[in-house]
Amino acid sequence: MQLSSSSSGSSLGAGSDAVIDEDFLYCEVCKSSFMKECEVHGPPLFIPDTPVPMGVADRARQTLPAGLEVRKSSIPDSGLGVFNNGETVPVGAHFGPYQGELVDREEASAYSWVISRSRQCEEYIDARNEKRANWMRYVNCARNEEEQNLVAFQYRGGILYRCCQPIKPGQELLVWYEEEYSKDHDFTLDFLRKKKCSDNEMKDTLLQVFSCSLCSLSYSSRIYLNNHMRRCHNEEFVRQQKIRKRFITAPSVGRVLLPRVISDDTSASTPQRNHMTAHSVGRVLQNSVLSSNTSSSTQE
């Protein structure tokens, strides 16, 4: 995999009507923003696409950087995904920009990202057509914070993916967008999510709201809420994580460990997740009793 240091994404165009803060990058180690380079870690790393002319059949797959491959996703019913088949991708590495065709809101598909051209103007970059897109169309969304290793954000008129966790050989690349991007486009992102649900014939999917208990902000994903808690209420976030970890790892009566099946699954409604938990706990307890009975019978 080819890594290159750069202080500016040369393939990204910056308009005169650019959105505030769009020229800033973020250091995952220092947890701070910068323009040209991080004062501690220097210029950012950009991993370039393999050059392929527009209009070529299967262009999207051919643009994969060296070391990455497209194959069946590890996420059930998600089709294809992108995996690291080379060296570990370091934290802070950047991919992109996301390529596709500019379309209107009504034409935007589930392969779209929204881009702000100004405070009043939005455009949609749609990677549905593989001849006009790059490999980033195949990257699936993370289901929870633990498996997320890429952060999507707007930079100089395009969408980049920033590596927020080391991506080891064999791991799938999984993305979610940063908090600031979601604030700017929350209504539009909900629109695209609903369209994706419609495309997948899941029109009855309900969007959950995750509210911060320490302030008035609410988010459409637990990942957003966790990012907010970490940045704005870090002490409370650390305390809750410790409590959660102790609860998950603590053995119950008879040394039966309760399964962790719902903690980060935001795809199901609260009643549905509680229902799933009841069945899972019941199965574990039932198996424990059967195992105990079998052991007693053997001893007799």
Give pLDDT tens digits along the chain (300 positions). 544 444 333 334 434 444 445 789 999 999 999 998 999 999 999 999 999 999 998 999 999 999 999 999 999 988 899 999 999 999 999 999 999 999 988 898 889 998 877 666 788 999 999 999 999 999 999 988 899 999 999 999 899 999 999 999 999 999 988 665 445 544 444 554 554 444 443 433 334 557 788 875 655 567 767 877 887 888 888 888 888 777 655 554 443 333 333 334 444 444 444 444 444 444 444 444 444 444 444 444
Return all residues near 145 (Cβ < 8 A) that are at least 6 apart. 222, 223, 226, 227, 264
Find the helix or strand (DSSP H, E) in which 112 lies.
strand 112-116
Pick the closest to residue 126 from 142, 140, 138, 109 (CA basis): 109
CA 85/CA 67 separation, integer angstroms? 5
**Given this model, what pLDDT does residue 233 score?**
87
CB 61 within 8 A of CB 70: yes
Residues 174-223 have pLDDT tens digits of 998 866 544 554 444 455 455 444 444 343 333 455 778 887 565 556 77
Pick the closest to residue 132 from 190, 57, 202 (CA basis): 57
Instruction: Identify the CATH homologous superfamily for domain 4-176.
Output: SET domain (2.170.270.10)
Pick the closest to residue 149 from 122, 167, 131 (CA basis): 167
CB 159 within 8 A of CB 153: yes
Every domain of the chain and the residues it spans: 4-176, 210-249
CA 91/CA 222 separation, integer angstroms? 22
